Amino acid sequence: MKKSYKIDVDCANCAAKMEEAANKADGVNEATVNFMTQKIKVDFKDSADPQAVMADILKRCKKIESDCEIYF
């Protein structure tokens, strides 16, 4: 299942790092962070609970940029 969320990310470099971090989260097949449109697109594994996965992704992203926010 693919879903797209709004993400607040300040720099292009951070967005690339967040994409890397999001791809490491459990339950994620593939994640892309689009700095230009300020969107994160996540392809969840079938068994995953999107809410829980997104919470995990947000935690990982905050490690990169503490004032990052994802709206899910």
Partner 1 sequence: MTPKQKKNLIKIIAAAALTAALILIQKFFDINGYILFALYFAVYIFIGGDVVLKAFKGIKNGQPFDENLLMTIATVGAFCLALFSGSGEYTEAVAVMLFYKTGEWFEHFAVGKSRKSITDLMDICPDYANVEGEDGQLTKVDPEEVEPGSIIAVKPGERIPIDGVIISGATVIDTSALTGESVPRDAKVGDEVMSGCINLNGLIKIKTSREFGESTASKILELIEDASSRKSKSEKFITKFSRIYTPAVVAAAIALAVIPPVVSIISGGSAEWSKWIYRALTFLVISCPCALVISIPLSFFAGIGSAGKQGILIKGSNYLEILSKSKTVVFDKTGTLTKGSFDVSAVHPEGIDEKTLLHLAAHAERYSDHPISDSVKRAYPSENDECIIDESENFAGLGVTAKVNGKTVAVGNSKLMEKVGADYHECSLTGTVLHVAIDGKYAGHIVISDTVKENSAEAISKIKKLPAKTVMLTGDTEQVASAVAKELGIDEYKSGLLPQDKVAEMEKLADEKNGSRGVIAFAGDGINDAPVLARADIGIAMGALGSDAAVEAADIVLMDDDPLKIPIAVGISKKCLKTVKENIYFAIGVKLLCLVLGALGIAGMWSAVFADVGVMVIAVLNAVRCMFYRR
Where on the chain is the footprint of partner 1 (CB under 8 A)?
Answer: 10-13, 16-17, 32, 34-39, 41, 63-67
Measured from the CB atom, is 29 or 37 closer to partner 1? Answer: 37
The minimum distance between CB 1 and partner 1, in angstroms, equals: 13
Measured from the CB atom, is 47 or 66 closer to partner 1? Answer: 66
Question: Which amino acid, 11?
Answer: C
Task: Report the candidate in 72, 71, 70 with the shortest Cα–Cα distance to residue 18.
Answer: 70
Measured from the CB atom, is 6 or 45 closer to partner 1? Answer: 6
Rg of the chain, C-alpha, whole Å: 11
The minimum distance between CB 39 and partner 1, in angstroms, equals: 7
Supply the DSSP string of 29-61, one letter for each residue: EEEEEETTTTEEEEEE-TT--HHHHHHHHHHHH
